[in-house]
Amino acid sequence: MSARIFECVPNISEGRVSRTLNLCVSAVERCGARVLHRTSDAAHNRSVLTIAGERRQVLDASIVLAEIALDRIDLRRHGGLHPRMGALDVLPFVPLGSATMAEAVALAHEAGAQIWERFRIPSYYYGEAALRPERRLLADVRPKPSGPPDIGDVAMHERAGAIAIGARDVLVAFNVDLATGDLGVARHIARLIRERHGGLRSLRALAFQLRDDVVQVSLNVTDERATPLYRVVEIIRALAAERGVEVRRSELIGCIPLAAVQSAALYALGVEDRSV
């Protein structure tokens, strides 16, 4: 009961070859960590695993994932919608329960050091693990970080690129697809709602063209209590309607706190008292 539990959410630059993802899941489980969720997207050519376990389990899992990505993904021949700088692109550690952010930071730094020592893949630390203030935001690290890496003596591995390794709180990844082929609509909405341009607090937003008739507003919510998902979706719906566009569907990537689900459900039911 006293064990410290951490979540790790590796973003892997492969969303089309299922064998690679199956290898990743099997390797993680052999380390003793638990795979809570997996998702892959062929258009983005990206997969996200949600892993939980004790410190040594998630550390070992992150190292073996770096090895598999190095072996099976060559960024020189990689294509996909999502920005990336590494085969194992993003590696955040999240403290759960009694685990502390300081422990997650130490875990992130050790993962970077071991990956460099074993595979000569450099890392850039972000979030609470950042060593430089200009690298706290992931968006400022990827896809082209300035300056030398935080661990390693080369900016990029020829084949595997570099890894953004972080420590952070729980994050909700959520996408909203719009029934239009006009990427300008999604870009306009993303710019209006993202925090860094004066939009919603704790919200990161990008725009992507999925198909000729579908564009996507891709969202990261770093504090779902400050910015509930139902509020984000309703704002996107209203902004899209101003351009004569409808919301086609929404998509959750990975896991979500129970409180966020309860809040959305109560909103949909029209319940005014949202205390649960």
Helix pair 55-72, 101-119: axis angle to 10 deg: 40
Q: What are the structure tokens assigned to 143, written together?
A: 């896809």
Residues 6+ apart with CB under 8 A from 101: 95, 128, 167, 169
Residue 82 falls in the annotated catalytic set: yes
Task: From the candidates 44, 82, 109, 157, give the one annotated as an active-site residue.
Answer: 82
Give catalytic residues, as residue numbers: 82
